Amino acid sequence: MAFRTSARLQLLSLLLGLSSMDRSGAGTQEFQLLQPQGAVSVSAGETLTLTCSVTGLAPAGPVKWFKDSGSGHRLVYADAGSFPRVTRAVSGSDTDFTIHINDTHPEDAGIYHCVKFKKGWQGPDEEFRSGAGTAVSVGARPSAPSVSGPPSRAEPGPPVTFTCTSGGFSPRDITVTWLKNGAKLPDPQTQVLPAHESISYNVSSTVGVSLTRGDAHSQLTCQIEHSTLPAPLHATYKLSDALRVSPRLQVGTAPAVPVALNTSVTFTCRAEGFYPKDASLTWLENGNETNLGKSSALSENADGTYTLQSSLEVKATEQRSQSVFTCRVVHDSQPPVNTSAMLRLSQPPAEPGKDPTSSAGDSYLSEEKKIYIAVAVVCAVLVVLVIAVIYLIRVRQRKGKSSPSVRLHEPEKSPGPAPQDSDPNNLTYADLNFDKQKKRTPRFVEMSPQSEYACIQPAATEDNLTYADLDMVHLSKSPKRPAPRPEEAVSEYASVQIQRK
C-alpha cells in the first residue's frame, strides 16, 4: 500500500516537471487554434468548406466541429462517429482540421466553431480551446413558381383570383410581379412564411383579374426575383383555361315571314362568340325536338371565340301556321340557352273548292289591321247614330213651332164599283193645316161639281196667311158613314167632318 502511494507521488512529480518544462518553452511553442473565416456564404446544394488548424504543442485530445451554441449546440464532425455529408480536407493530419460539408441545405446556415479538447484524467474530455467561429449563410434559390386559377371557369366581368407560389428559398427577401400580356398588374397580395421546421421560406402571391370576351388568347405571368437568382423566374397561365363566354343566339328566316302557303321556309340559328368550343345545337318545333336541322362546321373567330350555325327547312303548311320553332344551345355543360321564331302565313287557309292562289286571298290583314278596322267601323256607327239622334231632335223642335195639322179622313171605300151618281153637295174629308196660335176662319170656299177637290182660303187681311189643301177623297150619295175614330191626343192630326150648307 505504501509502495502504491509512493509510485503515485513520483508520477505526479514527473508530470509537474514536464508541465514546468512546457511553460519554460512557451515562448516558441505556445498552442494556437486558428479559425480564420469570419463569414461564409454558399448556395444550397454546393459544398461548404470550413477551415481550422492548430499550432504549437497541444495536450492530448481530439478536435471537433460544432454548430451554434446554447440549446441549439450540435456536433457537426468528430473523428469518431458517422457524418455522411462531412469529410476531413486532410485525412489523418494533426494540425489541419478543415472539413467539407457536401450538398448544403438552408438548414445548414449558422455559426460553426472548431474546438480543441484535452483528455480528462478520469472523466470525459474537456474543452481546451475554441475558435472564434464562422458565420455560414446558405442561399437557397426559390423553387420554380406555379400559378393556379379559379376552381371553375368564370364569365367576363367580376375579378377572378389567381395565385402564384414558390418555396425553399433563403434569405427571406423576395419580389413577386404579375403581368398580363406583358403589362404589369397592380396591387398583388404577397405573403412570405418560414417553411415547416426549416429556416427557408415560402411565398404566396394573389392577384385579381377581370376577364374579357377577348381573353381566349391572353396570358398571365408570375415573375419572381431573388438574390440567389441570376435572372428572374417566370410561370405563365393561359386565361383561356379559366374563361367561359356564353353564346349569343340569333334566329332568322329565309324568306322573311310571313310567307305564302306551301312555301319552303329555312330557319337559321347562329350561336356566335362563345368559349370554350364545346357546344351543341338542336331544334324544337312547338316544344318537341326535331332532327331535321343541319349544322355547319365550327368556326373560330379572330378573338379566339367560336361560332356555330344550323339551319332547319320546313314547308309552310296550314298545320304549321303559327308554329313556334326554337333553337336550343347547350354550352360547356351550362343550362340551355333558347331563342324562338314563329311561322306565319301571309294569307288565310283557302276555302274548300276555292283556288288558294286566287286574288281574293292575296291581301293579308295582320291582327293589328283587323283591330284598327273594327275600331273604325264602331266609330262610324256611333257617329251615324249621334247624327240621327241630333236630326230627330231638331225635326221634333221644328214641328213644335209650326202649325198643327188636321187630317180629314176618307170614309172607307166600298170594294165594289163606285156608284155612278155623285152628290156634289156631300163634302166628306180633307187635310187641313192651321196655325197653332191663331184660329183661321175660311172666308171663301170654292167647289166644282166636277172636281173632287176644294180649297179653303182665309181672309187676305190676316198677317199670317195659312191655307189648307182639301184633299177630297170621295164624294158620294151613299148613306153617311160614321166619322172616323179620332186619333190619340198626342197626335198632331185630328179627324173632322165637313158638310155643305
* pLDDT digits 0-9 by tens, 278-293: 999 999 999 999 887 8
Query: Under a CB-based contact definition with an 8 Å cutoff, are residues 138 and 112 in contact?
Result: no
Query: Under a CB-based contact definition with an 8 Å cutoff, are residues 135 and 39 in contact?
Result: yes
Residues 6+ apart with CB under 8 A from 428: 408, 410, 411, 472, 473, 474, 475, 476, 497, 498
CB atoms within 10 A of CB 211: 23
Residue extent(s) of CATH 2.60.40.10 domains in the chain? 31-139, 146-241, 248-342
The number of helix segments (H) and strand segments (E) in the chain equals 3, 33
The conformation of residue 144, written as its DSSP 8-state character, comes to: P
Q: Which three cell numbers stand for residue 288?
A: 318537341
Q: What is the DSSP string of 292-326?
A: --EEPPPEE-TTS-EEEEEEEEEE--STTTT-EEE
From residue 206, alpha-carbon distances to 146, 148, 154, 177, 359 in Å are: 12, 10, 17, 10, 74
Q: Which three cell numbers stand for residue 126?
A: 474537456
Query: Under a CB-based contact definition with an 8 Å cutoff, are residues 168 and 200 in contact?
Result: yes
Instruction: Give me the pLDDT at residue 454, please.
Output: 46
Q: Which three cell numbers stand for residue 111?
A: 455559426
CATH 2.60.40.10 applies to domain 248-342:
yes
Q: Which three cell numbers stand for residue 215?
A: 381573353
Instruction: Give me the pLDDT at residue 371, please.
Output: 85
Q: How far apart are CA 200 and CA 108, in angstroms?
A: 10
In one letter, which amino acid is 162?
A: F
CB atoms within 10 A of CB 12: 10
| b/e code 308-326 from CB counts within 10 Å (16+ = b) | bbbbbebebeeebeeeebb
Tracing cell 488548424 back to the chain, one arrives at 53
- Tell me the CATH number for domain 146-241: 2.60.40.10
Nearest Cα to Cα of residue 470 among 497, 501, 439: 497
- Tell me the CATH number for domain 31-139: 2.60.40.10
Those residues of the chain that have pLDDT short of 70 are 1-28, 197, 347-368, 400-501
CB atoms within 10 A of CB 169: 26
Cis omega (within 30 of 0) on the bond before 276? yes
Q: How far apart are CA 452 and CA 470, in angstroms?
A: 9
For 236, phi then psi, to 5°, come to -115, 155
Instruction: Give me the pLDDT at residue 397, please.
Output: 82
Cis omega (within 30 of 0) on the bond before 247? no
Q: How far apart are CA 399 and CA 397, in angstroms?
A: 5
Q: Which three cell numbers stand for residue 452?
A: 173632287
* pTM reported for the whole predicted model: 0.56
Q: In whole angstroms, what separates CA 488 from the centre of its chain?
A: 84
Q: How far apart are CA 58 and CA 110, in angstroms?
A: 28
Nearest Cα to Cα of residue 223 among 200, 205, 240: 205
Q: In whole angstroms, what separates CA 290 from the centre of its chain?
A: 29
CB atoms within 10 A of CB 99: 19
Q: How far apart are CA 247 and CA 250, in angstroms?
A: 10
Instruction: Give me the pLDDT at residue 407, please.
Output: 45
Instruction: Give me the pLDDT at residue 58, please.
Output: 82
* Strand spans (E) along 316-447: 324-331, 337-342, 405-407, 431-433, 442-447
Instruction: Give me the pLDDT at residue 450, please.
Output: 46
Q: How far apart are CA 449 and CA 35, in angstroms?
A: 179
Q: How far apart are CA 101 and CA 116, in angstroms?
A: 20
Query: Under a CB-based contact definition with an 8 Å cutoff, are residues 139 and 201 in contact?
Result: no
From residue 350, alpha-carbon distances to 73, 185, 369 in Å are: 108, 69, 20
Q: What is the DSSP string of 405-419?
A: EEEPPPPPPPSSPPP
Count Cβ atoms within 10 A of the Cβ of residue 136 and give its class: 0-12 exposed, 13-18 middle, 19 or more buried.
Answer: buried
382 membership: H or E segment, kind and range: helix 367-401
Task: Give the Cα-Cα-Cα angle 386, 391, 397 (nearest 5 degrees).
Answer: 130
